[in-house]
Amino acid sequence: MQLSTILSLDCTKSAVQCTSKKRALELISEIAAPHIDQNPQDLFESLLNREKMGSTGIGNGIAIPHGRIFNCDNAVAVLLQCQEPIEFDAIDNRPVDILFALLVPDEQCKLHLKTLSSVAEKLNDKHVLRQLRHAETDQELYQLFTS
């Protein structure tokens, strides 16, 4: 799957001022909601429920929060680059500054496991990660991630 089919420029935010994991998940929900005609609170609860099973902070300053959405046919992604790293309970106990969130229709979860895997692979590339961290605009961040 092309990442540009689920991630749009207006769901890509650089230099976000965010102070906590909870606020990051709220922001992701607020950004994603209009794109899939969902209530932001429902999206937030889906992301939070997934986090309760175990942190989606995969280490090296990266988190890939994800959740299931109901009564929706389309997946949506949100990419945030935090101005300052935030505590995220990551597996390496390091704060997170790059978040790629994926919200998928409940019945398409298996299909999107490949998407999560390819995102994790992309974010584990040190060169790509360095570029993402140095992106100065939403446009630059979006182009780097979707290229």
- Collapse the DSSP code of 68 into the 3-class scheme (helix H, G, I; strand E, B; otherwise coil) and give the result: strand
Tell me the pLDDT tens digit for each residue of 97-109.
999 999 999 888 7
User: How confident is the model over 14-34, as pLDDT tens digits?
Assistant: 999 999 999 999 999 999 999
The CATH number that applies at residue 76 is 3.40.930.10
Domain that holds residue 35: 3-146
Residue bearing the bigger pLDDT, 72 or 112: 72
- Total number of domains constituting the chain: 1
Q: Which of 42, 18, 22, 21 is nearest to 32 (CA)?
A: 42
Residues identified as active-site:
66
Q: What pairing do the DSSP bridges indicate for beta strands 62-63 and 66-69?
A: unpaired
Q: Which of 69, 67, 11, 75 is nearest to 39 (CA)?
A: 69
In this prediction, residue 1 carries a pLDDT of 60
